[in-house]
Amino acid sequence: MTQFTNQLINGQWKKGSSEKEIENKNPYNDELLFTIRSADQSDLDEAYEAAKEAQVKWAALPLHEKQALFDRLLEKMKAEKETIIDWLIKEAGSTRMKADSEFAAAVAVVKESASFLTRIAGVLLPSYIPGKENRVYRSPKGVVGAIGPWNFPFHLTLRSLAPALATGNSAVIKPASETPVTSGLLIGKLFQDAGFPDGLVNVVVGRGSEIGDMFVEHPIPKIISFTGSTEVGRRIGELAGKQLKEVALELGGNNVMIVLKDANIERAAKAAAFGKFLHQGQICMALNRIIVDESVHDEFLKAFMNIVEKLKVGDPAGQKTFVGPLINQKQVERIQKEIQESVEQGAHIQLNGKTDGALMYPTVLTNVTAGMPIVKNEIFGPVAPIMKAKSVEQAIDLANDSNYGLSGSIFTEDRHLGVEMAKKIETGMIHINDQPVNDEAHVPFGGEKASGVGRFNGEWAIEKFTTVKWISVQEGYRDYPI
């Protein structure tokens, strides 16, 4: 526990230099886990300088040594699995099932990233100029600033960090203030224990109001990788743009599931319940709107309610708990306000979930329309708005009636129709006969519109975290017309 009350800078665990402190609390019972002294600009400068120096040495390290370090990292992760899951439960409010799936996803992204060590390749291109050879070399960008989220903190921070390192970069992590351990400090310790060089992975814990802007504007990092809200992502994009600095932004979502009249209703209802209420709906890919063909609306609602009413709500450490606490009570209050405003505008409460501190039981709304707050805004909580559609065309229009475009889902027995619909929906990812919460380490992950910029995972991550240089080689000498 001692190191988790300190910053990790250049291989050393040290107290932050700010006078401010951050309290780390268990969202389920409000227990104070620990207090950490925040980092200030001097700590940030030291971390970025350490990362800059370490990156040069890391890029030159022999391939077999890098591979051995990634192998040891995977061994350490597996050895510390129960510790990682315990922290995800008590710090992020993850249910055990969600924590298990998050750990598995994190292992997968580290394995995939380790393969980048032998997948980074340049190319040789012909030239119109006689005797010239065009070589295109691919190399790391330098230092990556990674800002971790609080909802899937372990996996999503590693989704930036592991490929950044595997492609030859170094990194400074700024964890989410709500989850400093699982989105930063624990990750830093794992890399340190695996034997990665000092300064390669640094972790600075501090609130965005104190070091957030400087974390992005600092002259050393060449790319800022952020997973979080669209509001914060816009700010990061604005600051980075002024510095002509690249970003990788995975932001909010207002994801839909479309259930057509030929769908398997029972399977669609089960998928909808999973895709809506996993991790209390606090997932960027979680269902925000369920659009059902009006001819099967009542049948779907009955099947959906039968599942949702049986979901176990409570202590996330419980083996059978499916819905745990929101990250804090402020989120509960925000969502309750949006429910009330939507009801005032005509929404019907089919299932009225009670609240208890940060716990919020599932709520189901019908008769919702596009302009209501519970439909227009990203919910990030256990509320399921169900809408009717008169046709395939209307369902597509409703799906696209959003500033977001991250993930989505279509249930239909006509797979060709499903794919044709999917092509027309403005979203980075969409799944036929499955719910929208999907992430595979080798498949591109990212959104359109206000849901982000760029793609994570696989070869798309290699592209994001490296740059190319054209070097031409002239055999003999050219004859210039002068």
- Which has the closest alpha carbon to 216: 194, 236, 186, 195? 236
Looking at residue 179, its amino acid is T
Helix (H, G, I), strand (E, B), or coil: what is residue 25?
strand
* H or E element, residue 359: strand 359-360
Q: How far apart are CA 144 and CA 155, in angstroms?
A: 17
User: Helix 186-193 to helix 153-166 angle, to the nearest 10 degrees?
Assistant: 40
The phi, psi pair for 379, rounded to 5°, reads: -75, -50
**Which residues lie below 8 Å from residue 416, measured CB to CB, with a gap of 6+?**
none
Helix ranges, 309-357 (H): 329-344
Q: How far is the first Cα of the chain from the last one, in angstroms, to the nearest whole number? A: 72
**How many other C-beta atoms are found inside a 10 Å radius of the C-beta of residue 436?**
27
- Which has the closest alpha carbon to 142: 167, 165, 113, 170? 170
Residue in the block written with tokens 């992760």: 77
**Which residues lie below 8 Å from residue 219, measured CB to CB, with a gap of 6+?**
243
Helix (H, G, I), strand (E, B), or coil: what is residue 117?
helix
Residue in the block written with tokens 């009670």: 354
Q: Pairing relation of β-strands 170-174 and 143-147?
A: parallel
Catalytic residue among 46, 91, 250, 338: 250
Q: What single DSSP character describes residue 212? A: I
- Which has the closest alpha carbon to 170: 136, 208, 149, 196? 196
Q: For this structure, is 250 an active site residue?
A: yes
270 backbone φψ class: left, alpha, beta (φ>0; ψ -120 to 50):
alpha
Looking at residue 318, its amino acid is G
Q: How far apart are CA 236 and CA 216, in angstroms?
A: 7
Rg of the chain taking only CA atoms, in angstroms:
24
Q: What is the set of active-site residues?
A: 250
